[in-house]
Chains A and B, each alone.
Chain A
Amino acid sequence: MSSSWGMMNKVKEDLGLYLHFPFCEKKCDYCDFLSFSSDLSTKEAYAAALIREIVAYQKTAESCLVGSIFLGGGTPSVMPARLLKEIFSALAASFEIAGDAEITMEMNPGTVSEDNLSFAADSINRVSLGVQSFHDEELKMLGRIHTRKQAVDSVSLLKKAGIKNLNIDLMSGIPGQTVRSWRDNLDQAIALDVPHISAYSLIVEEGTPFFDRYQNGDHLPDEDAERQMYYDTRKYLAGAGCLRYEISNYAKEGYECRHNLRYWRRGPYIGLGLGASSLFDHKRWKNTESLKQYLRDSADPQKIARDLTPLDTRDEMEEFMFLGLRTMRGVSEETFKAAFHRSMGDVYGAVLTRQIEEGFMKKIGDRYALTDRGIDVSNRILSEFLLD
C-alpha cells in the first residue's frame, strides 16, 4: 500500500491520527472495546512498538499535514507520562503536525495524577474525561473505578493545568436510571462549565458482564424514558450554550471535536496501535487485535493490517450518506457531486424524497439532514442508503 501513498501534492492532505492504548486499571462492566489491565513492562513494550509503527509511516506522512490527534483507549492516562512523551517525540519526528492541531487525550477521572497533568499541560490541548455519571451508585453499578468527587476535582485540576477544551462523557439509559437522575447528571455537568459534552446511551453488548445481567431489558429504563432522556439532553445543554452537532455530541460554538467530525466527514485518518482503524487513500483497514502480533510486527504496517478493504465509488457514496447524516448539518449535494461526479438526486433521489415525505429527513439549502424523529430511528433510515 505504501507505493501509492507517497505521491506529492502541493497542498498537503489534512490527516488525523488515532493512537490506541488498550490498557485500563479495570475493565468496566458494559465495555466491549479492546482493553485490558497490564503491568509496567507491557506498557513499555507497547510504547516501543507504537514508536516503531510511527516511524514506519514516515514516508507516507510526507504528503500530509496532521490536523488532529486523538489518544483513545482503553485509558491513555494509565500510561506513564515519560512513555507518552517518547511517543510524542516520535510523532513529531515522523509527521508534520499543524500548529493549531487539535490534540485530545481520553482520561479517566480516577487516573488523573500530577504525572499525567504535567504531560497534558505540555503536550495536548484537549481532554475527554470519562465521567459517565455524577451519581456514585450509578458509577458503582457501571463498574467504574472513580467517584463523583474525583470527577469534579479532575475538571478543576485540568482547568488549572490550562486545559480549557474539555469534554465530559455521560451515559444515559443505564440500569436503575430515571429521567430525574439523568436531569441531575446534566445539571451537574453544566455546572462544571465545560465546552463539550458527549452523551451516549448505553448499548448492552454481547460478551460483557452487562449482557448477562441485562440482556432481557429488566432494570433498564424503558424506551419512552430513554427517549425522554435524549430529548432532555438536547434541551438542557442547549440552555447552557452547548448545541447538538452530532447525534451524541454537544458543544459550544467553535468547540466541536475536529477529530470526531473527521470520522463522519470521511476525512483521512491513520490508526496507530492495537486494533486501531484507518481510512486512507480509498482503503479502510484495522490493525491486528493480537497484542503478541502487534508487539512483534508493528514496524511493518502491512503485516499488522487486517480486513483491508478497498473502497469503490459505491462504498464511498454509501459511507458519505450514512456517516454524514449523523451530523446535524447533514450532507451537502455540492460536496457529493464534487466527490463522486454524480448528483445526489441521481443516486438517492427516491429515498430522499420518501424520507422527507415521511418526516424522517429535511432539506435546508443544499443539505439534507435527519429530523428529530429521523434521529430516533436513524438505523432504519440510514440503512436505506445502502445501494443494491
Chain B
Amino acid sequence: MDQSHIRNFCIIAHIDHGKSTLADRIIEQTGLLTDREMQDQVLDNMDLERERGITIKAQTIRTIYKADNGEEYMLNLIDTPGHVDFNYEVSRSLAACDGAILIVDATQGVEAQTLGNCYLAIDHDLEILPVINKIDLASAQPDECAEEIEDVIGLDASDAPRISAKTGENVHEVLEQIVHKLPAPTGDPDQPLKALIFDSLYDSYRGVIVFMRVFDGSVKVGSRVKMMQTGAEFDVTEVGIFGAGKFIPQEELSAGMVGYLEASIKDLHETRVGDTVTLADRPCAEALPGYKEPQPMVFCGIYPEDTKRYPDLRDALEKLQLNDAALQYEPETSLALGFGFRCGFLGLLHLDVVQQRLEREYGLDLITTAPSVVYKVYKTDGTVTDLTNPSNLPDPSEIDHMEEPVVNVEIMLTPDYIGPIMTLCQERRGVYQSTEYLEQNRAVLKYQMPLNEIIYDFFDALKSRSRGYASYDYELAGYQTSELVKMDILVNHEPVDALSFIVFGPSAYERGAQMCERLKREIPRQLFDIPIQAAIGSKIIARETVRQVRKDVLAKCYGGDISRKRKLLEKQKEGKKKMRQIGNVEVPKEAFLNVLKLGDDE
C-alpha cells in the first residue's frame, strides 16, 4: 500500500479516560475482526493490566479502514502505557508514530498525565488530534472540556470529535479525522533500510520477535539485517504485521509500515529496543536518534522466598528485561535473605508491576526490601559514587557530604484539599513552588521534593488526605545536598541488612521509632524477649521489645484422643518453616514488606 494511505498513530490519555475502549471501537469499526473475534478490550490482553485497568506493555494493531471517500487506509494503532512511571515506554512508542489521538474525559477534563503525555507527543513532533470522550455520562461537560484543552494545552479543540467510546457514538468521526488530519509517513522506499525497534518479545519457539517501524527502504524474508548499535547480523526468516493478537506474515515491510521481524534470534541482548535495523550489505548512513536511555530512579532488593529458586529468578528477570529495557538488575547477597538481585525501576508502580509479573508469570514467591533512591556520595578523597543499596554506604568518616535526588511534583486536585495536601508536602520536606487554578474546580499544586519522600507511601497518603481526589506526577529536577544518615535495624542485637535505609537526619528519630513499632507488630512472640532497635552508627535511637511467650500449653487431652494434640504440634512446626531466621529469631517473610507499608498510623 502506498504510504499516503498509511497512518501510524497512538492514543494518549490519562488513566481511565477510555483509551482501551476507543481502541476496541476503532478495531470494531474498521471491520478487521468479526464480532466473534472481538474479545473485550483486545489491547489489554495481559491479566495484570486487566486487573489494574492500565496498559503496561506497548502493543500494536493494524487495521484496514474504508473511508467515506471510498479509499482504503492502513491504520497502525500503536498502544502506549498510561502511567508516569512508563514515560520511557510512551516515548519509544511515540517514536514509531506520526500522529496521536489525545483522549480527554468530558467528566474529568485535562489531568496531570494528559499533559505529561501530550508534551511528550509534542516533543516527538506528532500531530495531535483531540477527542472528547464519555459524552454519554450525565456529568459530561464537553464544552468546558474543549475550552480546557485550548487553554491548558493550547490545541484547537473546536472540531474535536465528541464521542462515547463505550457506546460507539461518533467514533466514525474519529476515524475520518485520522485519515484527513493525521499526516501520512514520508519516508523514502528507495533508500537503504532504516527501521526503529520499539518493542520486542521472546517466544521459546520463534526466538526474539522484533517490533519495528520502517522509516526508509524495505525488508523481506532472506534479507540480511544488521542492528546498528549492537552490530549483530541476522538472516530474516519472517516479516509481518499485527492482527488483533496475531502475527500475520507479509512479503515485505516497506517505508511507512509498522510490523515485526523474525530472524532466529536467540540472544535477548542483541536486539535492543531503540536500536536501528538496516541492511548488512547496504547500510543506511546513520542510525535513528533512538531515545533517551531510561534512568531507574528507585531501587530495591528482590529475593526468592525459597532460596533454591535463585536461578529461576535470574532467568525471569532476564526475560522481563527483554521488553522492559528500563528494568535493571544486578546480583546481591543479604545475610538475612540470601542470594537475590538489586533491581532498578522507573518508579514505584514499575516496581510493583515487575514484582507482580515475576510472581504471576513466573510463579515466583518474592521478598522485596525497602525501596531506595540513588544517592550521590561525595567522599573525602574527592571521588563520587552512586549509592543504590543503603548497605553499601561507606564509613561516615570517609564521607564528605551526600546528595539526594529531588523531583518537581505536580499535584492535580480540587481546591478543597489544598490545605491538607500542602501540610502533607511540608511534612515530606517539600518546597512550595506555586499554585495554579486551571478552572474553578481544579488546581495544580507545585512542589519540589526529595524523591526519597515520595517513594514510600506518598501516593497512599495523598489519596487518603484528598479522599482520592488528588493525583500527581513528577519529574527529576536534579540533586541537592542533604543531611542524610543510614539507619540500621537490629533484631535481637543483630543488624538486619535488608532493613537498613537512608533517612533525612532530622526525621531519623521518628522514622526509627516507626520502623521498630511496625516490626514489633510483624514478629510473633517467641520463647525469649526480642529487642528491636533502630540505630544510627552505634547509637540506638529507638527500641521496642517483642515480649516472650508466657504461655502456650494445651491443658486437656481427652479420653486418650491425641489427634488434636498432634495436629497442633504439627501446625506449630509447619509455621516455623515459613519463617526467615535472623540469628535465633524467626521473622515471617511478609514482615520485610509490611514494615514499609503505610499503616493505620498515617
Contact = CB atoms under 8 A, between A and B. Distances in A.
Q: Do A and B bind each other?
A: yes
Nearest to A388: B573
A319 B560 CA distance: 12
B440 interface: no
Interface in A209-224: 223-224
A380 B561 contact: no
Contact of A203 (B555, B559, B561): B555
B40 interface: no
A147 interface: no
Nearest to B526: A380
A360 B562 contact: no
A247 B569 contact: no
A380 B559 contact: no
B319 interface: no
Interface stretch (B103-111, B335-343, B546-554): B546-554
A379 B560 contact: no
Contacts of B553: 201, 247, 375-379
Contacts of B572: 379-380, 383
Interface string B290-306: 00000000000000000
B551 A322 contact: no
Nearest to A378: B553
A203 B556 contact: yes
Contact of A377 (B549, B562, B570, B576): B549
Nearest to B584: A358
B570 A378 contact: no
Given A263-B560, A269-B560, A322 B554 contact: no
Given A379-B572, A383-B572, A386-B573, A277 B561 contact: yes
Contacts of B562: 263, 277, 284, 319, 323
A280 to B, nearest CB: 11
Given A227-B550, A383-B569, A386-B569, A18 B527 contact: no
Nearest to A72: B559
Contacts of B554: 203, 378-379
Given A386-B569, A386-B570, A386-B573, A20 B550 contact: no
Contacts of A326: 557
A28 to B, nearest CB: 13
Contact of A376 (B551, B556, B560, B568): B551
B560 A271 contact: yes
A287 B573 CA distance: 28
A284 B557 CA distance: 15
A377 B559 contact: no
Contacts of B556: 200, 203, 248
A48 to B, nearest CB: 21
Contact of B551 (A70, A377, A382): A377
B594 to A, nearest CB: 22
A53 interface: no
A20 B551 contact: no
A284 B553 CA distance: 23
Interface in A82-109: none
Contacts of A384: 573
B555 A248 contact: yes
B555 A360 contact: no
A18 B549 contact: no
A226 interface: yes
B558 A33 contact: yes
B569 A379 contact: yes
A307 interface: yes
A340 to B, nearest CB: 18
A307 B464 CA distance: 53
A174 interface: no
Interface in A361-385: 375-380, 382-384
B491 to A, nearest CB: 18
Contact of A358 (B527, B555, B560, B569): B527
Given A379-B569, A382-B569, A383-B569, A247 B551 contact: no
B560 A247 contact: no
A378 B568 CA distance: 12
Interface residues of A, number: 43
B550 A279 contact: no
Given A322-B565, A379-B572, A380-B572, A227 B551 contact: yes
B559 A20 contact: yes
B139 interface: no
Contacts of B576: 383
B563 interface: yes
Contacts of B552: 376-380
A385 to B, nearest CB: 8
Contacts of A262: 560
A276 interface: yes
B555 A200 contact: yes
Interface in A186-204: 200-201, 203
B549 A380 contact: yes
Contact of A379 (B528, B563, B568): B568
Contacts of B557: 263, 326
Interface in A223-254: 223-224, 226-227, 230, 247-248
A259 B462 CA distance: 66
Contacts of B573: 383-384, 386
A200 B557 CA distance: 11
A207 to B, nearest CB: 13
A126 interface: no
B559 to A, nearest CB: 5
A328 to B, nearest CB: 14
Contacts of B555: 200-201, 203, 247-248
B240 to A, nearest CB: 55
B321 to A, nearest CB: 38
A18 B560 contact: yes
A223 B551 contact: yes
A277 B560 contact: yes
Given A263-B560, A380-B527, A322 B569 contact: yes
A27 interface: no
Contacts of B550: 223-224, 227, 376-377
A323 B565 CA distance: 9
B587 to A, nearest CB: 16
Nearest to B570: A386
Interface string B497-540: 00000000000000000000000000000011000000000000
A20 to B, nearest CB: 6
A144 interface: no
B570 to A, nearest CB: 6
Nearest to B575: A383
Nearest to A379: B552
A375 B552 CA distance: 8
A223 B550 CA distance: 7
A223 B525 CA distance: 13
A315 B573 CA distance: 15
Contacts of A360: 527
A278 B557 CA distance: 13
B301 to A, nearest CB: 30
Interface of A: 16, 18, 20, 33, 70, 72, 200-201, 203, 223-224, 226-227, 230, 247-248, 262-263, 269, 271, 276-279, 284, 286, 307, 319, 322-323, 326, 358, 360, 375-380, 382-384, 386
14 contacts: A33-B558, A200-B555, A230-B551, A262-B560, A269-B560, A277-B563, A278-B560, A279-B560, A358-B527, A376-B549, A376-B550, A378-B553, A379-B554, A383-B573
Interface of B: 527-528, 549-563, 565-566, 568-570, 572-573, 576
Closest 9 CB pairs of A and B: A383-B572, A277-B561, A383-B569, A200-B555, A223-B550, A379-B552, A377-B552, A263-B560, A383-B573
Given A18-B559, A319-B566, 12 more contacts: A223-B550, A247-B553, A247-B555, A277-B560, A286-B561, A286-B563, A322-B569, A323-B562, A376-B549, A378-B552, A379-B568, A380-B552
